[in-house]
Amino acid sequence: MSLIEQVVNYAQSVMAKADPRTDGMLLMDSPWLSLSICILYVIFVQVIGPKLMANREPFKLKELMIVYNFAMVILSGYIFMEFGICGWFGNYSYGCQPVDYSNSPNALRMLRVCQLFHLSKYIELLDTVIFVLRKKFNQISFLHVFHHGVMPISWWFGVKFVAGGFGTFHGWLNSWIHFMMYIYYGIAGLGPAYQKYIWWKKYMTSLQLLQFALVTIHSIQLFFIPCNYPVLFTWWILSYAVIFFAMFSNFYVKAYKKPKKEAVRNGVHNGKDKKGD
């Protein structure tokens, strides 16, 4: 048997374990379209977009941004509530929580919100597209692109195989973080007169770090208790949380800690200069 045949047979054996309830759902028939969208996203924001905008004036998209951000507030808030009502507000265990693959009303409702969360990750790619069109290239960091680019395909597999249970914990937390984040973006987009209402900007990164820390702890404990949940997805969620905790920690230090230290250092030097005068 050739290597290609082995790969095909393995892929078929894996897909045979997929959740049949996802058959016919939008984008769920194959991972290739989702993967293609993610790849095209990276190519656009890193190569095509900057070239297209190189000799153009940045677009004025204030009205579009306001509508988009507050629409995402509503969507993120709805997803957070649905994840909570379907499980995390009391029905689910914070220890082992297997996936309910039945066709019960609650299990199907959880499946639908998992799919909605998955689809929201494609919508959120517009964050970066707007940055490109506004020529805000300084905001398109590796962290930003990597974070946005990996989530749609990651959650494709989540919905296809484990739509519910233990793995939705990080989706629940993430939807709340995004609810807060888009409130910030929405208010910031209203203009300078509203800047005083977003004094809590730096705490958003702290909340993101708290999110990844909680997901890490939540994932690790599953290795010490018996649970009917696929260990591969546990490792994937844990890896995701650890990688992003490290990356967001690095961003936090560069954005807030280093400038503060430099300001203090400069203040001391300036003070000495004045005293010497």
Decide: pTM greater than 0.85: yes
Which pLDDT value is given to residue 122? 98
As a whole number of angstroms, the distance between CA 220 and CA 171 comes to: 17
Q: Is 80 a domain residue?
A: yes
- Count: domains in the chain: 1
110-135 burial: b if 16+ Cβ within 10 Å, else e: bbbbbbbbbbbbbebbbbbebbbbbe
From first to last of the 277 residues of the chain, give the pLDDT tens digit.
677 766 667 566 678 789 999 999 999 999 999 999 999 999 999 999 999 999 999 999 999 999 999 999 999 999 999 999 999 999 999 999 999 999 999 999 999 999 999 999 999 999 999 999 999 999 999 999 999 999 999 999 999 999 999 999 999 999 999 999 999 999 998 988 888 888 888 788 899 999 999 999 999 999 999 999 999 999 999 999 999 999 999 988 887 776 665 555 555 455 544 434 3
**Closest residue by Cα to residue 106 from 160, 163, 56:** 163
Angstrom distance (rounded) from CA 136 to CA 138: 5
Indicate whether 18 belongs to any domain.
Answer: no
On whether residue 5 sits in a domain, the answer given is: no
Spacing of C-alpha 273 from chain mean position: 47
Would 168 be classed as within a structural domain?
yes
What range defines the domain where residue 53 resides?
29-276
* Active-site pick, 118, 147, 148, 170: 147
CA distances from 13 to 35, 49, 153, 231, 255 (A): 20, 39, 19, 17, 46
Print burial letters for 39-58: b (CB count within 10 Å at least 16), e (below 16): eebbebbeeebeeebeeeee
The answer to the question of residue 9 being in a domain is no
- Taking the C-alpha atoms of residue 117 and residue 84, their distance in angstroms, rounded to an integer, is 13
Residue 97 lies in a domain: yes
- Cα torsion at 247, 252, 258, 264 (round to 10°)? -170
Check residue 205 and give its pLDDT: 87
Q: Is residue 13 part of a domain?
A: no
Concatenated DSSP letters of 13-73: HHHTTS-GGGTTSTT-S-HHHHHHHHHHHHHIIIIIHHHHHTTSPPP--HHHHHHHHHHHH
Determine the pLDDT at residue 6. Answer: 62
Residue 104 lies in a domain: yes
Catalytic annotation present for 147: yes
One-letter amino acid for residue 193 of the chain: A
Residue 146: predicted pLDDT: 95
> What is the per-residue DSSP string for 85-127?
IIIITTTS-SS------S--HHHHHHHHHHHHHHHHHHHTTHH
Residue 157's H or E segment, with its range, is: helix 142-162
Distances from the Cα of 249 to the Cαs of 5, 143, 164, 215, in angstroms?
43, 11, 29, 15
